[in-house]
Amino acid sequence: MAFVFRYLFLICLRLFYWALSPQYFFGLKRFRKRHPGFSGTFKCCINTDVILHFDKLCFRKKSLPVYETPDPVQFDDCFYGISFSQLKQSKGKPETASYEWIGEKLVSVFGYRDKILERGVKINFFFTEDQFFLGEFQFQSYNKTVINSVRGMLQAKYHFKAGTTESDFYITDREGSLVFFNDNGYRLNVQYYFTQLEAIDQCLKKAIKKSNLIREKEQVDENNLGNLL
């Protein structure tokens, strides 16, 4: 009986809100915890912890080159701070979504598919408090042609000169916004982070520090356990 009631409540959440709403996302998550065998689906755009997408943006790697541009950083023709309703007016309803609480802030991620330079790309928009603060291109093809084409596109748009062998680098504008070109060896990602939203930036930095401390403690505990065995 409890299963039926909870399932009906879950259906109501999906119908009353929408299939990619945070209400349905967290309702489905709770339902799965109580009923592990349930296979209800949710079209997530991120399958890893959302916080992992921020660490090299909130805390830049000092070993990576930083190129300055006179042009304002802009993501997919969208400026920072726009609302989700403005995004929908521009691009329509998202195809995927993900949600995660980072500290006291709910981070919402909305995903679309498109083409850039005739290549398939997943486009993720990150929001909190109904403000856009981070954009991400995930290129679905990975080869030297794609990497060089995307690097050339960025150089043409932001008027800077970068080496041809750099796998990772930053671009920053006069307002402090960042572009992060990240070639991790099997996928090319380009992220756009807007630091002008200071309250969000500080919250994310605090959460990342806490997350890093937890990971370090878990690693220490694992090493100590290994020494005992």
Choice among 40-44, 94-98, 198-202 with the minimum mean pLDDT: 40-44
29 & 63 share domain? no
pLDDT for position 53: 82
Using CA atoms, how far apart are residues 115 and 140, in angstroms rounded to an integer?
10
Region of 159 on the Ramachandran plot (φ > 0 left; ψ -120 to 50 alpha; else beta):
left
In-domain check, residue 101: yes
Residues 144 and 197 in one domain: yes
| Rg of the chain on CA atoms, in Å | 20
Name the residue range of residue 14's domain: 2-34
**pTM as predicted:** 0.82
CA 172 distance to own-chain centroid: 19
The verdict on 6 and 117 lying in the same domain is: no
Rounded CA-CA distance 134/195 in Å is: 9
Q: Are both 19 and 119 inside the same structural domain?
A: no
Whether the predicted pLDDT of 229 surpasses 60: no
Number of domains the chain contains: 2
Q: Are residues 119 and 159 in the same domain?
A: yes
Q: Is 30 within the bounds of a domain?
A: yes
Q: Is 129 helix (H, G, I), strand (E, B) or coil?
A: coil
Q: Is 146 within the bounds of a domain?
A: yes
* Whether residue 137 sits in one domain with residue 75: yes
pLDDT per residue as tens digits for the range 189-228:
999 998 877 777 788 888 777 766 544 444 433 444 344 4
Share of the chain above pLDDT 90, in %: 28
Residues recorded for the chain? 229
Q: Do 26 and 139 fall into the same domain?
A: no
